[in-house]
Amino acid sequence: MFSTKGRRRLLTEAVQERLWPMMGGIARQKGFVACVVGGTADHAHILLSLPTTLSVAKAIQIVKAESSAWVSRTFQNIHGFAWQEGYAAFSVSMSNKNKVVRYIAEQAEQHRQKTFQQEYLVLLKRHGIEYDERYVWD
Protein backbone atom coordinates (compact mmCIF):
# COMPACT_ATOMS: atom_id res chain seq x y z
CA MET A 1 0.00 0.00 0.00
CA PHE A 2 1.31 3.45 -0.82
CA SER A 3 -0.18 6.91 -1.09
CA THR A 4 0.39 9.96 -3.21
CA LYS A 5 2.97 12.40 -1.92
CA GLY A 6 1.35 14.98 0.32
CA ARG A 7 -1.80 12.85 0.26
CA ARG A 8 -3.26 14.96 -2.54
CA ARG A 9 -6.30 13.47 -4.21
CA LEU A 10 -4.81 13.26 -7.71
CA LEU A 11 -5.99 9.89 -8.86
CA THR A 12 -9.37 10.62 -10.40
CA GLU A 13 -11.51 7.71 -11.54
CA ALA A 14 -10.33 8.33 -15.12
CA VAL A 15 -6.69 8.08 -14.00
CA GLN A 16 -7.37 5.01 -11.84
CA GLU A 17 -9.07 3.19 -14.75
CA ARG A 18 -5.82 3.40 -16.70
CA LEU A 19 -3.26 3.37 -13.87
CA TRP A 20 -4.28 0.13 -12.14
CA PRO A 21 -3.91 -1.98 -15.33
CA MET A 22 -0.65 -0.16 -16.14
CA MET A 23 0.76 -1.13 -12.73
CA GLY A 24 -0.20 -4.75 -13.42
CA GLY A 25 1.57 -4.52 -16.77
CA ILE A 26 4.71 -3.15 -15.14
CA ALA A 27 4.80 -6.17 -12.83
CA ARG A 28 4.27 -8.58 -15.73
CA GLN A 29 7.06 -6.95 -17.78
CA LYS A 30 9.45 -7.27 -14.82
CA GLY A 31 8.72 -10.93 -14.16
CA PHE A 32 6.32 -10.85 -11.24
CA VAL A 33 2.55 -10.88 -10.88
CA ALA A 34 0.13 -8.21 -9.72
CA CYS A 35 -2.82 -10.34 -8.62
CA VAL A 36 -4.97 -7.24 -8.10
CA VAL A 37 -4.39 -3.48 -8.10
CA GLY A 38 -6.83 -0.94 -6.70
CA GLY A 39 -7.21 2.07 -4.52
CA THR A 40 -8.75 5.51 -4.40
CA ALA A 41 -7.86 9.09 -5.26
CA ASP A 42 -4.97 9.24 -2.79
CA HIS A 43 -3.52 5.73 -2.48
CA ALA A 44 -3.02 2.33 -4.08
CA HIS A 45 -3.06 -1.26 -2.92
CA ILE A 46 -1.36 -3.99 -4.92
CA LEU A 47 -1.27 -7.70 -4.17
CA LEU A 48 1.92 -9.10 -5.64
CA SER A 49 3.22 -12.60 -6.16
CA LEU A 50 7.01 -12.36 -6.25
CA PRO A 51 9.69 -14.82 -7.30
CA THR A 52 12.17 -15.75 -4.59
CA THR A 53 14.85 -13.73 -6.39
CA LEU A 54 12.99 -10.40 -6.02
CA SER A 55 12.63 -8.54 -2.72
CA VAL A 56 9.47 -6.72 -1.75
CA ALA A 57 11.44 -3.45 -1.59
CA LYS A 58 12.74 -3.84 -5.14
CA ALA A 59 9.31 -4.78 -6.51
CA ILE A 60 7.70 -1.73 -4.89
CA GLN A 61 10.54 0.50 -6.10
CA ILE A 62 9.97 -0.71 -9.66
CA VAL A 63 6.19 -0.27 -9.59
CA LYS A 64 6.33 3.16 -7.94
CA ALA A 65 9.07 4.55 -10.21
CA GLU A 66 7.63 3.30 -13.47
CA SER A 67 4.02 4.18 -12.63
CA SER A 68 5.05 7.70 -11.50
CA ALA A 69 6.87 8.27 -14.77
CA TRP A 70 3.88 6.92 -16.72
CA VAL A 71 1.41 9.21 -14.89
CA SER A 72 3.64 12.22 -15.57
CA ARG A 73 3.93 11.38 -19.28
CA THR A 74 0.30 10.40 -19.78
CA PHE A 75 -1.55 13.02 -17.74
CA GLN A 76 0.15 16.35 -18.36
CA ASN A 77 -2.53 18.13 -16.28
CA ILE A 78 -1.21 16.32 -13.17
CA HIS A 79 1.85 18.34 -12.22
CA GLY A 80 4.45 16.95 -9.85
CA PHE A 81 2.86 13.55 -9.33
CA ALA A 82 4.80 11.31 -6.97
CA TRP A 83 4.10 8.45 -4.63
CA GLN A 84 5.05 8.91 -0.98
CA GLU A 85 8.53 7.72 -0.02
CA GLY A 86 7.35 4.87 2.17
CA TYR A 87 4.96 1.97 1.81
CA ALA A 88 3.44 -0.80 3.87
CA ALA A 89 3.85 -4.45 2.99
CA PHE A 90 2.11 -7.42 4.56
CA SER A 91 2.54 -11.07 3.61
CA VAL A 92 -0.63 -12.94 2.76
CA SER A 93 -1.21 -16.67 2.94
CA MET A 94 -2.84 -18.38 -0.03
CA SER A 95 -5.81 -19.19 2.21
CA ASN A 96 -6.44 -15.43 2.61
CA LYS A 97 -5.73 -14.40 -0.98
CA ASN A 98 -9.41 -14.13 -2.04
CA LYS A 99 -10.22 -12.05 1.05
CA VAL A 100 -7.39 -9.62 0.19
CA VAL A 101 -8.45 -9.45 -3.47
CA ARG A 102 -11.97 -8.51 -2.32
CA TYR A 103 -10.59 -5.95 0.16
CA ILE A 104 -8.60 -4.23 -2.60
CA ALA A 105 -11.45 -4.37 -5.11
CA GLU A 106 -13.81 -2.72 -2.59
CA GLN A 107 -11.58 0.25 -1.72
CA ALA A 108 -13.98 2.93 -2.98
CA GLU A 109 -16.78 1.58 -0.77
CA GLN A 110 -14.50 1.21 2.26
CA HIS A 111 -13.33 4.78 2.00
CA ARG A 112 -16.81 6.16 2.22
CA GLN A 113 -16.55 5.12 5.88
CA LYS A 114 -12.85 5.47 6.69
CA THR A 115 -10.01 7.67 5.40
CA PHE A 116 -6.74 6.25 4.09
CA GLN A 117 -5.00 7.45 7.26
CA GLN A 118 -7.56 5.72 9.49
CA GLU A 119 -7.33 2.53 7.41
CA TYR A 120 -3.54 2.50 7.57
CA LEU A 121 -3.38 2.96 11.34
CA VAL A 122 -5.94 0.17 11.83
CA LEU A 123 -3.78 -2.18 9.71
CA LEU A 124 -0.66 -1.31 11.70
CA LYS A 125 -2.45 -1.93 15.00
CA ARG A 126 -4.10 -5.15 13.78
CA HIS A 127 -0.71 -6.56 12.84
CA GLY A 128 1.02 -5.44 16.03
CA ILE A 129 3.33 -2.99 14.30
CA GLU A 130 4.66 -0.29 16.59
CA TYR A 131 4.80 3.20 15.11
CA ASP A 132 5.23 6.83 15.98
CA GLU A 133 2.57 8.81 14.12
CA ARG A 134 4.96 11.76 13.77
CA TYR A 135 6.93 9.66 11.27
CA VAL A 136 4.15 7.74 9.49
CA TRP A 137 3.17 10.46 7.01
CA ASP A 138 5.63 12.23 4.72
Rounded CA gap, 43 and 31, in Å? 24
Cβ-based neighbour number of residue 58 at 10 Å:
13
Report the pLDDT value the prediction gives residue 8, as an integer from 0 to 100. Answer: 61
Supply the pLDDT for residue 110: 78
pLDDT score for 42: 85
Per-residue pLDDT of the chain (138 residues; tens, 9 = 90+): 677 765 466 788 999 999 999 999 999 999 999 999 999 888 899 999 999 999 999 999 999 999 999 998 999 888 778 898 888 898 999 999 999 999 899 887 877 888 888 888 888 898 898 988 888 776
How would DSSP label each residue in 109-125? HHTTTS-HHHHHHHHHH
- Mention the CATH class of domain 2-135: alpha beta
Among candidate residues 53, 55, 67, 97, the one with its CA nearest the CA of residue 2? 67
- Least Cα distance to 137 among 115, 111, 117, 122 occurs for 117
Over the stretch 46-63, which tens digit does the pLDDT of each residue have? 999 999 999 999 999 999
pTM of the model as a whole? 0.83
Domain boundaries, the chain: 2-135
Q: At a CB cut-off of 8 Å and minimum separation 6, what does 7 contact?
A: 42, 84, 116, 117, 137
